[in-house]
Amino acid sequence: MMQPMMFLPLLVALLMTSTNVANCQEVNSRKVERIKRKIERQNQKLNELTGKESSVVCYSTSPIDKEDLQQIKREVLEAKDRIIKEHQHVMENFHQEMTHVHRELSQKKLELRRQFVSPPHFRNEVYGWIGDQNILVVTKELEEETSSTDFPYEVSKEMTGMSLVINGAIDQGSVYIAIEKPDGTLFNEYTLSPLADVNLRQTIRFADQEPDSYVGKWVVKVVTEEASGGFSFQIKGR
């Protein structure tokens, strides 16, 4: 009867060891499940950005060590960085495309306005203007007027620049002023409306430009659309 009693402590030790192993396995399993849930949340956030399933992370049934976790974090961050860069690239392309469309619309609008034919004595009867090789001044009081005309301005090689002054107080309608360079491209455009009175002064320098880009005949086009009020503009060479 004494011999079985000798094995009792050994059996108790084995049972305790088995229990500890089971407990450790259970703890590891819970850790793995927590890590998996965390990774699932990260992937869910990533999927919300990409709109598709992320294949960056592969699950494992074995416990994940710190190095694997760091690798997973790096891959997730790299994926997010790629998404952000792709988004920035798309937005840059969108901005460039919208700028191109705006320029095309402005050019087409100017071409349509060019098709308007002024009355035979439009300039002499409607506008008061002074023009020579150095200065161009145009003034006008309007009363529900719709019309269009062009004013040339000659720029010589000796000029280092020119100054532009535009004043306007429009009660209704609009006045559109477009300035074209000698090659026919649009230099700038201005629209006067009842929203605000305008007093614009601008200096244009030719020092950093090729002579071919500014020497020659500039054209100032004025288009009024049911406009009432007054305006004036002046170009003076320097």
pLDDT tens for 119-134 read: 544 444 444 444 445 7
CA 201 – CA 181 distance, rounded (Å): 19
Structural domain range at position 174: 122-237
139-184 pLDDT, tens digit per residue, is: 888 888 888 889 998 888 888 888 999 999 999 999 999 999 998 8
In a domain, 140, yes or no: yes
What are 141's two structure tokens? 């009081």
> pTM value?
0.46
For 96-107, write each residue's pLDDT tens digit. Answer: 777 777 777 766
Largest Cα separation within the chain, whole Å, is 138
Percent share of the chain, pLDDT over 70: 62
Q: Using the predicted structure, report yes or no on whether residue 196 has a pLDDT greater than 60.
A: yes
- Residues 169, 215: one domain? yes
What number of other Cβ atoms are within 10 A of residue 209's Cβ?
12
Among residues 212, 174, 211, which one has the least CA distance to residue 192?
Answer: 174
Residue 63 or 37, more confident: 37
Range picked from 20-29, 38-47, 227-236 for highest mean pLDDT = 227-236
Residues 127 and 211 in one domain: yes
Of the candidates 100, 115, 130, which is a domain's last residue? Answer: 115
**Does residue 4 lie in a domain region?**
no
25 part of a folded domain: yes
CATH code of residue 193: 2.60.120.380
List Cβ neighbours of 16 (8 Å cut-off, separation of 6 or more): none
